[in-house]
Structure 1
């Protein structure tokens, strides 16, 4: 086994070998999921005493970075399960057991998906277009539409939230976990995208889906919140997404180097393009940009693991990392395309697929506008 990873080289190569087929046929990464489950990958955040590996966020982020070098769409789907298990561990590390059941159920083989994204909801976690209707005994029924629900063919638990405005003076955002067997929802077969195709992040229509009272984990006032759940979601989501796109950049750089050595220049007596000064400059530019992400990713993930108190600086740091990672990956992929030449234009090209996959990075929260607003407020205060 490759040191310090659950993904040995053989398994990683098997996963890489499937990625093109999943992409071409627009099908879910079912075999990858089976192999990752068998490797204990879905139990990384689960404490050892509950049957998991007990990894912290720094280690999990590195594992996800490695997985993304082989199959970004698979890594994206798995990220959503890891976000929830990571949230549960982040809370548990801080003495909050409210999501411990997530860790116990993940240890038992349940697959968690992230069902919070909504079209047109630029409030993200601070508002919702989904209606949450209270039921007798503390349960809730949800009505609305969730987009980008990765792992749609495979999840057994779906983390969702919605707005309970039954008390108009005190609207609440109600977070809970839906059991797949509960019904009251429809998963649309609408995932036919440019990139990240194997993630099968389909639309989920909630039409009275009921979340049991013991799976309602928070009822928070609508609007910005300092609740630890919000921090835990934000930290795990932004860091794991950043790790994924850092992995895409790493693989693109590898492919650029390979292409530079393989391509020959007739103009320069058949010498490889790796001797061409312009090509060397592009590869160097990509390598310099890529190299700066690893320490930032490690430091922020380690800060979560170490229960660091970064106060108000947490959110600008997290959005800065996510934005830098996704934009940097696009830059590195672009340089790799220029180095590789027209062969990358083929739909069967791995680099061409990375070019399509990396575009998804701009759509994950926080988007560039939101990220810049968060950082500007941190440095300048709110606008007058």
Structure 2
């Protein structure tokens, strides 16, 4: 397992910054407070504009490059990395499309370069279709824009976002799903202070209520649905989101394993006559299972990041690979944490222990879209299993 990243001209995160993120994680989790200091330091270091192309004033990191840095942050604080990724996937996808010659996304990159923070407003009660459906109304304004009315959950970065990516069902064409951006200062936007969970507490993923919030024509990303062309930008958003999220859970699993190894090495075993518990064959077998799981996840998500970076074009094979990588990372990380708990023992139950926080945070992996039921339904379908959709 590698929790490192090669330096790139014009961009770096120093070890002191990473150490401070780690030091602050427990207090933010215990208080359920937003990671304000982490955010400010990462912003000042240029992390939130890392994918912006060099010619537009950013460092120009690719998905594969950014994923390595993201992993290092997540190793220190799951919440900081996960919430930050909810901004970065919008930026990275825009950079992909810009490099492909799509000038319509340049405004997104320029806004981020100038300090905009983007969040995702997609989760809704009563919508089990993900981006393919919505309980939010999108009412045409007659000039190419839309007004959105609905209730969005899990809006990470709630204290700091300035732009919110939302989707809703077109009230004039119920088969069409509209995607656009709205501004935080729109009078139709209300951010609810209601994030009080047992996991990912510092993400501050408060609800957002929309009441006619306006996305003008130039901020509409796509209108998709049956008989309509797909959106390359939204496809790229999915790739960046799934790869970055997968790396968060990979890093979480590695942190749990490292804690387990340190615990076993530092505790004497009466059964072994005072030798470290790390010498116990049972402990070694448990740790070996965790290593094998993490090595498989790492290979999976690294391959996904590298191959998308080399050829950022979505197709059926890519949809399968990205969904399976996210499923593998989130479910595998949970298994690693469970194995690590066997090694650490009862002391892991105490509030304030890092592994106790990891145990809570890893439980959230199943709720990030696509959820396990969606992945199984999609990847087990005849269309997904068609040999023509495999490229190996």
TM bucket by the smaller chain? over 0.9
Offset of residue 8 of structure 1: 2.3
Structure-to-structure mapping, 1:245-256, within 5 angstroms? 245-256=249-260
Shift of 1:222: 5.5
SS at match of 1:89: helix
Q: Distance in 2 between matches of 1:308 and 1:100?
A: 17
SS at match of 1:138: coil
* TM-superposed deviation, 1:241: 0.8
Specify the alignment match of 2:15 in structure 1: 9
Alignment partner, residue 80 of structure 2:
74
Q: Is 1:350 matched with 2:365? A: no
Q: Work out which of the residue numbers 187, 190, 195 in structure 1 matches 2:194.
A: 190
Q: Supply the distance in 2 between the matched residues of 1:102 and 1:175 (Cα, whole angstroms).
A: 14
Equivalent residue number for residue 19 of structure 1: 25
Report how far residue 224 of structure 1 moved: 8.9
Residue by residue over 1:218-251, the C-alpha shift from the partner in whole angstroms, topping out at 9 and shown as x without a partner, is 1223699632133112211111111111110111
Q: How many residues align?
A: 379
How far apart are residue 27 of structure 1 and its match? 0.4
Deviation sequence 1:205-227 (CA, Å, 0-9, x none): 11111122221121223699632
Which deviates more, 310-319 or 156-165?
A: 310-319
Offset of 1:93 from its aligned partner? 2.7
Quickly say closer, same or farther: Cα 1:322–1:96, change in 2 above 3 A: same
Equivalent residue, structure 2, for 1:366: 370
The residue aligned with 1:139 is: 145
Aligned-pair distance for 1:94?
2.4
- Flag the 1:21–1:234 CA change in 2: closer, same or farther, 3 A: same
* Structure 1 residue 202, shift from structure 2 partner: 0.8
Q: 1:234 to 1:224 in 2, by over 3 A?
A: farther
Q: 1:22 to 1:346 in 2, by over 3 A?
A: same
> Residue 226 in 1 paired to residue 265 in 2?
no
Alignment pair present for 1:336 and 2:340: yes
How far is the alpha carbon of 1:63 from its aligned partner?
Answer: 1.1
Q: Distance in 1 between matches of 2:386 and 2:220?
A: 37
The counterpart of 1:126, out of the listed 112, 122, 132, is: 132
Q: CA deviation at 1:11?
A: 1.2
Tell me the CA shift for residue 309 of structure 1: 5.4
* 2:93 corresponds to 1:100: no
Q: Is 2:35 the counterpart of 1:32?
A: no
Is contact 2:236–2:312 with CA below 8 Å preserved after alignment? no
SS at structure 2 position matched to 1:176: strand
- The answer to whether the 8 Å contact 1:135/1:141 transfers is yes
Seen in structure 2, the aligned counterparts of structure 1 residues 154 and 104 have a Cα distance that, compared at 3 Å, is same
Query: Is the deviation greater in 349-358 or in 229-238?
Result: 229-238
Matching residue of 1:297 = 301
> Aligned residue for 1:64?
70
**Following the alignment from structure 1 to structure 2, what is the Cα–Cα distance between the partners of residues 87 and 14?**
29
Cα distance in 1 between the residues matched to 2:101 and 2:6: 32
C-alpha separation between the residues in 2 aligned to 1:12 and 1:224? 45
CA contact (8 A) 2:87 2:118 kept: yes
Work out which of the residue numbers 317, 320, 328 in structure 2 matches 1:316.
320
TM-score normalised according to structure 1 size:
0.94
Q: CA deviation at 1:131?
A: 0.2
2:207 to 194, 198, 203: 203
Indicate the residue corresponding to 2:48 in structure 1. Answer: 42
Residue 115 of structure 1 is matched in structure 2 by 121
Q: Report the alpha carbon displacement of residue 141 of structure 1 after superposing the two structures with TM.
A: 1.0
TM-superposed CA distance for 1:365, in Å, is: 0.9
Task: Tell me the TM-score normalized by structure 2.
Answer: 0.92
Structure 1 residue ranges without an equivalent (≥5):
none
- Could you tell me how far apart the structure 1 residues matched to 2:200 and 2:158 are? 13
Q: Deviations over 1:30-80 (max 9, x none)?
A: 100000011111111100111111011011111111111000001111010
Aligned to 2:390: none
Using a 3 Å threshold, how does the CA distance of structure 1 residues 310 and 118 change in structure 2: closer, same or farther? closer
**Deviations along 1:130-157, whole A, 9 cap, x unmatched?**
0011113223211001111000011011
- Assess if the C-alpha contact under 8 Å between 2:222 and 2:231 holds in 1: no
CA RMSD of aligned residues (A): 1.8
For residues 279-310 of structure 1, give each alpha carbon's deviation from its aligned partner in whole angstroms, at most 9, with x where no partner exists. Answer: 11111110111011222212211222222657
Looking at structure 1, the residues matched to 51 and 156 of structure 2 have their Cα atoms a distance apart, in angstroms, of 19
Residue in 2 aligned with 1:266? 270
Q: Return the alpha-carbon distance in structure 2 between the equivalents of residues 40 and 98 of structure 1.
A: 23
Indicate the larger mover: 11-20 or 135-144.
135-144
**Which residue does 2:218 correspond to in 1?**
214
Question: 1: distance between equivalents of 2:14 and 2:41?
Answer: 12
